[in-house]
Structure 1
Amino acid sequence: MNPTTETDPETSKPAGSAQGTDQRKKTRVIYVVYLIAALDITWMFLQFSVTPYLAKKLGFDTLWFGYLQTMVGVIQLLGGPMFGRFADLFGARLALSLACSSTVVFFLLLAVADHPAMLFIHKLPTVFMHVLPASQMVVADLSEPEKRAEALSKLGLCFGIGMIAGSTLGGLLITRYGETFTACVGAAGSLFSLILVLNFIPKSTKSQASTAQTQDKKKSVFSLGEIVRLMKYPGVTPTFLVKIISGLPSGIFQVMFSIIALEFFKLEPQQNGYLMAYFGVVQMLMQGLVIGRLTARFSDHALLLTSIGGSALVGLAQANMQNVFQFCIIVVPMMFSLSVFGVITDSMLTKSVPSSDTGTMMGLCASVQSLLRTIAPTVGGFLYVNYGISSIGSIEFIVNTCVFGYMLRRHLRRSTEHQD
């Protein structure tokens, strides 16, 4: 043996070879997680194609549909931090298994929903349906900090693929076979995702040091003290506030879009599926071709400012749109702003905390989205019914303009202080 070759003390193999094998294993796990995430988004958009039309059949109006969406937001708001902490304590395989199993139950309940109350009951399993945050945790654990934004952006690419597949498939299946059969397809697909988790995801994706650090902590799935501790890390609380305040107006539009498509654009299920597929294509282009290059060239702060400014302009355009063709043009800058905003804020937050807490942080990020979905349906329903679709865009313009101005002023002030 070459005397200058370093060896791994545990395997007696060259250290470079052991590191290469370990890296290949990590890469394989990440690719499997991408597949699981893409499948989960496919089944979720399949469900998005079912719920509004089934709700209409069962006599729901716009406000009651908003209450249904609010219920989901409340449930996931409570479940997000617990699920994230559960993933940190018990590992990726168990967390993803719980999430996929809950999705199977969710679709089975949707398949037998024949009464308004059943539409509310079938939402209960969403308390554990956090496949995407669990996937983000795994990617954050297995990727290098400097490449984390790019790795997380590829999950957004998976989101786009799932959006296209789920929306198109959902529209076609509902048109030809009805809501019940479509829900059964979602249940079968979620079961396949569970099989992938059990066969390819390791018990834990954290380093040995992170695992030991987690084991030293009190094993409580829900710990308010842990949440408070994470919020005290530098930069975490301000980023969370920006994520909530700037994300609320766009969250209102996203939650209300199924109603907007049905009533304002007057789209049929299959047409709505094609429109959602168009969303997915645009998001795939953004995540696959744009965001990775931007994160390599520009700072997180610059990209965050750009996304917020873009959201303000998108809100102004939404306030003045009149038809679906105009909306298809607006979709391009809208998906760019949303994609950059989501990836950059998640990347900034996971980099701000120890690797042993990435699951909890991803759970908290999911809770931000759940909080927005809790508030957005009620606010959105009220605005849409009383003031029309233009009011939603106007609020997005005003809020994001204010946030952009505040952040720009704060950045300029800091730059001046550093120069002094």
Structure 2
Amino acid sequence: MSRKGETTVETPGAGQQPERTKVIYIVYIIAALDITWMFLQFSVTPYLAKKLGFDTLWFGYLQTMVGITQLLGGPMFGRFADLFGARAALSLACSATVVFFLLLAIADHPAMLFIHKIPTVFMHVLPASQMVVADLSEPEKRADALSKLGLCFGVGMIAGSTLGGQLSMRYGETFTACFAAVGSAFSLLLVLKFIPKTTKAQAPRTNAESENKSKSVFNVGEITRLMKFPGVTPTFAVKIVAGLPSGIFQVMFSIIALEFFKLQPEENGYLMAYFGVVQMVIQGGVIGRLTARYSESSLLLLSIGVSSLVGLAQAYMQNVFHLCVIVVPMMFSLSMFNVITDSMLTKSVPSSDTGTMLGLCASVQSLLRTVGPTAGGFLYVNYGISSIGLIQFVVNVAVFVYLLQRRLKKTDAQKK
């Protein structure tokens, strides 16, 4: 029973561990399906844009629009998830994905390609899935549970790339987009059937506290206040600074594959499948074991140290074989870095704010997609591919030294 003046919040599906585990597995399926549909549309949009007369510059504008839209929508969507629960958030994200593909299917004018990107403001299935996993997993197992979403990403990358190429070649872009819309509708049904209304184990709070807490999704103050929690601002800054150079290489990879390595579409597909397999192995079999044995601060240092060496290797690579060798430590550092920073940030805020925090984390990726094409294009055209790798090396070495100094000072303070 609750005392007078307090309200208790029931958390459906978040009580028993078997029930929690079942919901987490369903979320993994939803995430894998969503990534499949996203990679499927990569076999539609570039070719449709070419048919509609887009050149490289206008296609870049299209991609930048997506980055800006998701950059603005990420924090708002995260707060929506915190206020209205997991089912509402995932339902909104899946519904937006259905609309996204339906608009793509009927796109017959250049303006329609821009219009069909508008629903991306709500298309945050992966951050919403991360929120559910963070809410339902034990704190000490959170990093491992979040890393499994990366395994889902690898599965979706391979399945979506393969399926999209086959459907587009056999039945055309319109059928492929409609197929993805139907698939997204199936994901929505899974959400409505299996995901509980809320996954947060909220503590009782007084009526006065409930009234004072703003219910506005667009309350910027409620979003930015998370930066005031101990350890959040430094970790968030590290996530942006250390992630930017590697993000530039990712967004420039399609240009690098085409111009530097001279890959044909079929060869590029094989390479992407190889990326997916490497990521699946790392996310499914490596990260979980490491997080169970070592502290998150140690693993963060490791990921940044490996990333700096990857940047140095990228600066001197000459052929596809070199890239295939570099991909292994590159995927390891990227996966470890994203999982550890997301885990550290969600642990630094109350459970009632994990969605907003993950929305902010998703905005970092959107920021990289927005800034990356411009910065990467400038570096690549003026200084070559080696400049991108050297900048990654220098920036990550600087961040590594900063974190190491912080850790040594903290250890000395504890000893005293």
TM-score normalised by L of structure 1: 0.90
User: Shift in Å at residue 57 of structure 1?
Assistant: 4.1
Cα distance change on mapping 1:211 and 1:199 into 2, 3 Å: farther
Q: Percent identity of the aligned residues? A: 79
Cα distance change on mapping 1:79 and 1:317 into 2, 3 Å: same
User: Shift in Å at residue 361 of structure 1?
Assistant: 0.9
Aligned 8 A contact 1:81 1:222 in 2:
no
Aligned 8 A contact 1:309 1:400 in 2:
yes
SS at match of 1:222: coil
Deviations 1:67-115 (A, max 9, x none): 2222111111110111011111111111101101111111122223333
Aligned 8 A contact 1:175 1:270 in 2:
no
SS at match of 2:34: helix
* Match status 1:240 vs 2:243: no
Cα distance change on mapping 1:215 and 1:194 into 2, 3 Å: farther
Deviations 1:241-293 (A, max 9, x none): 00001111111111122232333333333332222121111111111110011
Letter in structure 2 aligned against 1:417: A
Which residue pairs with 1:267 in the alignment? 263
Which residue pairs with 1:182 in the alignment? 176
* Match status 1:99 vs 2:98: no
Deviations 1:217-255 (A, max 9, x none): 210002121123211111000010000011111111111
In structure 2, C-alpha distance between the alignment counterparts of 1:73 and 1:147, rounded to whole Å: 31
* Match status 1:362 vs 2:358: yes
Cα distance change on mapping 1:393 and 1:117 into 2, 3 Å: farther
User: 1:193 is matched with which residue: 165, 172, 187?
Assistant: 187
User: Shift in Å at residue 59 of structure 1?
Assistant: 4.1
In structure 1, C-alpha distance between the alignment counterparts of 2:123 and 2:355, rounded to whole Å: 14
Q: Equivalences for 1:65-144 in 2 at 5 Å?
A: 65-144=59-138
User: Shift in Å at residue 208 of structure 1?
Assistant: 4.2
Letter in structure 2 aligned against 1:103: T
Letter in structure 1 aligned against 2:36: T
Which residue pairs with 2:317 in the alignment? 321
Q: Mark the runs of 5 or more structure 1 residues left unpaired by the alignment.
A: 1-18
In structure 2, C-alpha distance between the alignment counterparts of 1:152 and 1:262, rounded to whole Å: 33
Which residue pairs with 2:46 in the alignment? 52
In structure 1, C-alpha distance between the alignment counterparts of 2:265 and 2:206, rounded to whole Å: 51
User: Shift in Å at residue 51 of structure 1?
Assistant: 2.8
TM-score normalised by L of structure 2: 0.91
Aligned 8 A contact 2:14 2:20 in 1:
no
* Match status 1:391 vs 2:387: yes
Q: How many residues align?
A: 402
User: Shift in Å at residue 144 of structure 1?
Assistant: 1.0
* Match status 1:32 vs 2:65: no
User: Shift in Å at residue 329 of structure 1?
Assistant: 1.3
Q: Mark the runs of 5 or more structure 2 residues left unpaired by the alignment.
A: 1-12
Deviations 1:290-321 (A, max 9, x none): 00110011111110011111111111122222
User: Shift in Å at residue 180 of structure 1?
Assistant: 2.7
In structure 2, C-alpha distance between the alignment counterparts of 1:184 and 1:279, rounded to whole Å: 27
Letter in structure 2 aligned against 1:284: M
In structure 2, C-alpha distance between the alignment counterparts of 1:59 and 1:267, rounded to whole Å: 23
Which residue pairs with 1:6 in the alignment? none
Cα distance change on mapping 1:297 and 1:235 into 2, 3 Å: same
RMSD: 2.1
Which residue pairs with 2:371 in the alignment? 375
User: Shift in Å at residue 21 of structure 1?
Assistant: 7.5
User: 2:222 is matched with which residue: 218, 223, 226?
Assistant: 226
Which residue pairs with 2:308 in the alignment? 312
In structure 2, C-alpha distance between the alignment counterparts of 1:47 and 1:185, rounded to whole Å: 10
Aligned 8 A contact 1:252 1:380 in 2:
yes
